[in-house]
Amino acid sequence: MQHVIVSRKDWLAARKALLARELELTHALDELRAERRELPWVRVEKSYVFDGPDGKCSLIDLFGERGQLAVYHFMLAPGSDHICAGCSYTMDHVDAARQHFERADLAFAAVSRAPIGRIEQVKERMGWAFPWVSSGDGDFNYDFGVSFTEEDRAAGRALYNYDKTRIQKSPDMFGVSVFVKGEDGDIFHTYSTYHRGTELLMGAFNWLDLVPKGRNETGGVMSWVRLHDEYPQAERAFA
């Protein structure tokens, strides 16, 4: 990999110039995060029911003892043998992070349309411990913008990521939704993000973004990403 080689003095000057831009962006991100926290809320009127490993559960059950809930909409469709590598890459970060954010009043659950038996198979294979439930044939995935009926896809109404130009051909996509539990037990939807918005959760990318090769996506976006048990054991994932 060819790169410009300079003296330590010249490197330091370039690094300080970049630092000024990094600090500017950090402050802008602080302002954006504050604005995100100030978004208005929407009361959740429906009583969503999920299938969990121990039977039926509700949206409020997913909160446990905590007042906030983050849901990852995992692309695992009924009747499909495919396991989304991108969703799995994101979920590989969750269990370690839960040790910390659960202490800050945030619960987590993944939700997919696949039957709970299939979810449990994937969860065991990947070695994940986080809660993961099935929305089955319910409205949850559709109401929160990650699943689309055949009729809506055919009619051009399957809008993803709030974008009228992003008409989905796939019946399922991915995203994150955030909920808050009120003192009276009401649940409010506060935030959802989709597509590249979920990169916030991909900690490995933050490490790769520090190095010269970056995300090394020479074969396309996330081209080298695999299920973590599918990486070659005797060689590096990429040269």
When the pLDDT of each residue in the chain is averaged and rounded to a whole number, the result is: 92
Per-residue model confidence as pLDDT tens digits over 150-173: 999 888 888 899 886 666 778 999
C-alpha distances (whole Å) from 152 to each of 136, 159, 191 are: 19, 9, 23
Instruction: In whole angstroms, give the CA distance from residue 164 to residue 181.
Output: 31
Per-residue model confidence as pLDDT tens digits over 35-63: 999 999 999 999 999 999 999 999 999 99
Instruction: In whole angstroms, give the CA distance from residue 12 to residue 117.
Output: 56
- The single residue listed with the structure tokens 């009729």 is 151
Q: Is the pLDDT of residue 233 over 80?
A: no
Q: Is the pLDDT of residue 77 over 60?
A: yes
pLDDT, residue 234, reads 47
pLDDT, residue 238, reads 43
Do residues 113 and 78 make contact, with C-beta atoms less than 8 angstroms apart?
A: yes
What is the mean pLDDT of the segment spanning 197-225?
87
Q: What are phi and psi of 44, to 5 degrees?
A: -85, 115
Per-residue model confidence as pLDDT tens digits over 85-131: 999 999 999 999 999 999 999 999 999 999 999 999 999 999 999 99
User: pTM for the complete prediction?
Assistant: 0.91
DSSP reduced 3-state for 31: helix
CATH topology of domain 45-201: Glutaredoxin (3.40.30)
